[in-house]
Structure 1
C-alpha cells in the first residue's frame, strides 16, 4: 500500500511545527515540508523521513507547482500549516485538492483584523471600538472615534508584533505612523498597508481553544509590562467559575460562527471584567505559545493530534479531567549577553519541570523586540494544584534569569 503525504507549508515560531511533523509520522503519513527558507527552522536539520521542498511560499503559483509535483509521486492526505502567515495559502491549496480544511474565505476574513472586528460588531458580538487607519490623514478622525487609552496594532499580524498601548495623542500618532511605514512582516513578506486602533479593554485575559466548533479548553494568559502585549505565560485549564466558563465558551463559539469558521482549529482571545466578556480577536488556527504542549502535559489531550485526525476525517478523543499546567517563558531582563550556565537536567530536576525548552543556542546577544521574539525558551510545570504548578514554573524562570 502506497504511503500518503502530509504537506505542511511553513511553520510558526513556537516549535509546534516540529510536533506536527512528528505526529504526522505517528499517524503513518510521510511529511512534506514546504518553505522559502529552511535555515530558519532548526527542527529541519537532520530530520529523518522528511521531504523538504523549497520555493517562494509567498507565490501561489510556486506553491501550487510544488504541491502538484508531490501529488504526481504519492497521494496527499492532508495539507495544512501552523503559521498565521500561511493559513490562507494552505486553505486554498487544500480546497483545490479536495482535501478537508477550513474555508479560505473565513480565513481571509479572520486574518484581516479590521474586517473581522466590523463583522463581529455588526452581528452584536462585544468587541472593542475600533477604526482603520489607511493613511496619515485618517489618524485624527480615528482617534476622535475610538478615544484614549487605545491599542494600536497591524491590520494583519501575529505574535504581538507592533501591538502597543497608547495613552496620549502624541504616542498614538507616532505608533500609527510607525505601522503605516511598515511594508513587510517579520519574515520579510510584503504586507497590507494600514493599522487598526482599538479601545483598550481592562480585565483578565483568556483564550478559548476550539476545534471544529467544539471547545477543547480555556487558557489563562499572562502578559508582560505595558505598553507592550508580550505573553509571558499561560495556565491551563484556566481556573474559572462554571458560570464564567460557560459565558466565555458561548461568546467564543458565537464569534467563530459569525465569521464562518466552523471547520478547523480556532484560538479566540478575549477579556473578562466584572462579568462582561469582550472578544479581542479570533485567530483561525491552533494556539501558539506552546499552548498545545501545555494541554498535552496537563490533561493528556494532544491538540495537534486532534487537528490532524480531524483533517483526516478520523474521530478524536475528547479532553478529560487532568492536572493543571503552567508555562512561563524565558525573557532576558536586559539587553546584552545572556547565557544559561546550569545544565538542563539540573533545572528540570530542581523544579520538577515537565518540559524545558530553549529556542536559541546560548549564549546570545539579546536585543528586545517587545513582541514574541523576546522569548528565548520556556518551562512547563504540572501539578494537581494549579497554584503549585504556577509557582514552580515561575521559580524556575526566576532562577534562570538571575544567572
Structure 2
C-alpha cells in the first residue's frame, strides 16, 4: 500500500514517525532535495523542481499523478505543507482532500470564526490591521491581551502585552515573525489572555469520529513569549477521559469540518473551563507524539497513516507510563557553539534520548531571537511517574555541557 508523504521535518524530531510508517507502508516521499537519512525508511522519492522547497501544490499534484503505483493516502505533519497535502489528496480523490478544512486550521482567524459560530469556548479574538486598531481592541477586551500571527505554529510570533506601551512595542514582533513556507499577513490577532495550565490533545479522526490519543501538559518559558520548553504526557492523566474536555474536542472538530486527519488541539484550562487556543490539522510537534507512543503504546505514525488512507486507526493503549521532553537553550544571544558534551555515564535509566541540536560553529540565541531554532539540545525520559521523569531530566541537564567559542 503506497502512502505519499510530503516533507519529513528534522531528523531529531520526526524520524521515529517515518521509521514506523515505512515498516508498514510503501512510502513515496515528495521532497525539496535528495533524501539522506530518509532513504532507510522509504520505497521511493520525487525531488521537486524548486531546490529546498515543497510548497508548490501544483507541482506536487503533478508529481503525485505521475506516479506509476496507485497512491492510497497523502500525509504531511509539517505545518507549512498541510494545505498542499490536502490539495494533493483532493487531486487524487483521497481522504483528507478538503483544502477548505485545512485552511480553517491553518488560518487562525478562520479557526476563530468557525468555533465562534458553533459556540465552542475560546478566548475573545479580533483581527486587526495596524497598531491603532490593536490598541482600540485591547481597550475593549481588557489587558493583558495576546498578539498572535494568523498562520504560524509552535507559538512563533505570539506575545503577551500588559499595557498600551507594550502593545505598540511588540506589535511588529507578532506581525513580522515568519518561517520558510509560511504566509505573510499584515493583519494580527488580538486575543483575550486565557489563564490556566496549557495542554494539547492529539487525535486521530476517521469518518468524522474523533479519537483522542493522549494529552500533553506544556511547560512554557521566556515570558512574555510563549516558548514551549518542555512537555509531559501521562497515560493516566485524568484529562484523557475528562467528559467536558472530550466534548469540546469533538465540538471543535465538528465546527471546523474535520473528517479524516490527525489533529493537535491546544487548550488553556481556565477557571471557567477549557478554552480552545488553536486546532492544527497535523500531528503535534516537539516530540509530543513520541512521548505519547512511549507512554501509551499507541503509535501516532501508524494512526496518521491509517486515517490518511481512509482506514480506522488503532488507538488501543497497551501501557500506562509517563513520557517527558525538555529543551536546552543557550544563555545569551549569538552564542557560537564549540561542542556539546554528554556524560552518558551520568544518565539514569529513565533517560531514553539526549540529542544535540546544534553543532560546532552554529550561532544560536534563546527566545525571542532564537525561538525553537535556538535550542541546542533535548532530552526525553520515560518512567512510571511524573516526578521520576522530572528527576531523570534534571540529571540529563546536569550531564550536558555546552561549550562556547
TM-score tier, shorter chain, comes to 0.7 to 0.9
- Unpaired runs of at least 5, structure 1: none
Structure 1 residues 24 and 352: CA distance shift in structure 2, 3 A: closer
Is 1:174 paired with 2:169? Answer: yes
Asked whether the equivalents of residues 84 and 285 of structure 1 are also in contact (C-alpha less than 8 Å), the reply is yes
Structure 1 residues 107 and 19: CA distance shift in structure 2, 3 A: same
- After superposition, the CA RMSD in angstroms is 2.7
Matches within 5 A, 1:229-248: 229-237=226-234, 240-241=237-238, 245-248=242-245
In structure 1, distance between residues paired with 2:239 and 2:134? 42
- Unpaired runs of at least 5, structure 2: none
1:52-106 deviation line (CA, Å, top 9, x unaligned) = 412343333222222223x2x3222221211111111101111210122253211
Is 1:162 paired with 2:157? Answer: yes
**Stretch moving more, 80-89 or 100-109:** 100-109
Find the counterpart in structure 2 of residue 114 from structure 1. Answer: 109
Find the counterpart in structure 2 of residue 95 from structure 1. Answer: 90
How does the TM-score come out when normalised to structure 1?
Answer: 0.87
Task: Give 1:16 deviation, angstroms.
Answer: 4.7
**Stretch moving more, 263-272 or 239-248:** 239-248
Q: Which of 197, 201, 207 pairs up with 2:194? A: 201
In structure 2, distance between residues paired with 1:124 and 1:253? 12
Equivalent position SS for 2:127:
strand
Structure 1 residues 341 and 135: CA distance shift in structure 2, 3 A: closer
In structure 1, distance between residues paired with 2:402 and 2:13? 28
Find the counterpart in structure 2 of residue 307 from structure 1. Answer: 304
Task: Give 1:186 deviation, angstroms.
Answer: 0.9
Asked whether the equivalents of residues 14 and 288 of structure 1 are also in contact (C-alpha less than 8 Å), the reply is no
How does the TM-score come out when normalised to structure 2?
Answer: 0.87
Equivalent position SS for 1:342:
strand
In structure 2, distance between residues paired with 1:338 and 1:8? 33
Task: Give 1:118 deviation, angstroms.
Answer: 2.3
1:333-388 deviation line (CA, Å, top 9, x unaligned) = 223234555347435x4463122223333463322343222223321111112211
1:272-304 deviation line (CA, Å, top 9, x unaligned) = 133521111111111111111111122222111
**Stretch moving more, 105-114 or 43-52:** 43-52
Matches within 5 A, 1:2-401: 5-13=2-10, 15-35=12-32, 38=33, 43-44=37-38, 49-56=43-50, 57-69=54-66, 71=67, 73-101=68-96, 103-180=98-175, 182=176, 185-187=178-180, 189-212=182-205, 213-237=210-234, 240-241=237-238, 245-274=242-271, 276-320=273-317, 321-335=319-333, 336-338=335-337, 340-343=339-342, 345-346=344-345, 349-350=347-348, 352-362=350-360, 364-370=362-368, 371-400=371-400
Task: Give 1:122 deviation, angstroms.
Answer: 2.7
Asked whether the equivalents of residues 328 and 394 of structure 1 are also in contact (C-alpha less than 8 Å), the reply is no
In structure 1, distance between residues paired with 2:11 and 2:158? 19
Equivalent position SS for 1:281:
strand
